[in-house]
Homo-oligomer: A and B are copies of this chain.
């Protein structure tokens, strides 16, 4: 394995009824901005639980953070943070609300001009307002990492930044929040977490058995528990296992000392930016194309995935790789995510646009930095 550094100080508070602990985990005297999304927290009772738990604190509310949070919206929150002298951000929602809150936290302390540079130029984040999170949706892993993805609506750009400074101080994970989620959100979460693991796993071997087996542990658990949650939304045990899987999928642990890919995410982001397709659905579209186009480069790990996760042990190498790709597609489709561009009405015109954008950016992606416009065209044409 490669040399690495790893540090993850996020305090995880996990289990049913734990939302009541939010208040005792926020520093006394804090002035809180409570950030949230479209209002599902009013229907599922989470808002009431949180409000009861932070009684006594001064609280400003900022709702309406979109899925794929918009820079334009977040900058309004930044203005409010400054004018209200907010000292603590409490994100109550899923990954989009939390990603947006991370950007608010960093942008409010940014001293180096336009905060857009945090996203566009990866300008270093020197300081951030502390964040706490109450998670309402298992999917992105944002609750235990320093990553954030933000969309600029006016230019259809979806960009990310990462900083230890925006890691939540604490994250409360109560699996009961899953009980009221629609199928689509559960399924998206399962696939999002699945692909997070894949991006840190499906590259080339570097003799890292702990990382590999941990990754496979999460994949197997998602494959086993995801459908159970979809079949019975009140199965607490399966909900808990799904929620913990999604957190472990992207808290950095399985990615230490190994090559990483992230091409699926980077190409997927463009599909969201141009067509508003749910993030997880873009991953379900793109991943099989990457597995196909990069099957030679990734052959050892595709074979290992096939054997250890899908139980594929027969046939020659090419047959096993084919079966592994098919099994992966089948899994995505079985939980309700179509995997073809045509399923979403996306045509070759969009492929042209995406390739042009990568052409302009001038850098290549993937674990060997060899996926450029030409390869992206092949990947997306494979998914038409």
Contact = CB atoms under 8 A, between A and B. Distances in A.
Nearest to A25: B5
A42 interface: no
Tally of this chain's copies: 2
Contacts of A213: 213-214, 216-217, 220-221
Q: Top 4 nearest A-B pairs by Cβ distance?
A: A3-B15, A213-B217, A9-B9, A7-B11
A225 interface: yes
A147 B13 CA distance: 21
B257 A14 contact: yes
B9 A14 contact: no
Contacts of A240: 1, 257
Interface stretch (A33-41, A79-87, A109-117, A204-212): A204-212
Contacts of A217: 209-210, 213-214, 216-217
A171 to B, nearest CB: 10
Contacts of A241: 1, 207-210
Interface in A255-269: 256-257
Contacts of A14: 3-6, 256-257
A244 interface: yes
Contact of A209 (B8, B209, B210, B225): B225
Nearest to A215: B217
A10 interface: yes
Interface in A188-240: 207-210, 213-214, 216-218, 220-221, 224-225, 237, 240
Interface of A: 1-18, 207-210, 213-214, 216-218, 220-221, 224-225, 237, 240-241, 244-245, 248, 253, 256-257
Nearest to A4: B14
Given A218-B210, A221-B209, A245-B210, A11 B5 contact: yes
A309 to B, nearest CB: 11
A143 to B, nearest CB: 12
A196 to B, nearest CB: 14
A18 B1 contact: no
B11 A6 contact: yes
A5 B172 CA distance: 9
Given A1-B240, A1-B241, A9-B7, A257 B15 contact: yes
B1 A237 contact: yes
A317 B149 CA distance: 51
21 contacts: A1-B15, A1-B240, A1-B244, A3-B14, A3-B15, A3-B18, A4-B12, A5-B11, A5-B13, A6-B14, A15-B257, A208-B241, A209-B217, A209-B220, A210-B217, A210-B221, A210-B245, A210-B248, A213-B213, A216-B217, A244-B257
Contact of A16 (B3, B10, B245): B3
A224 B207 CA distance: 12
A240 to B, nearest CB: 6
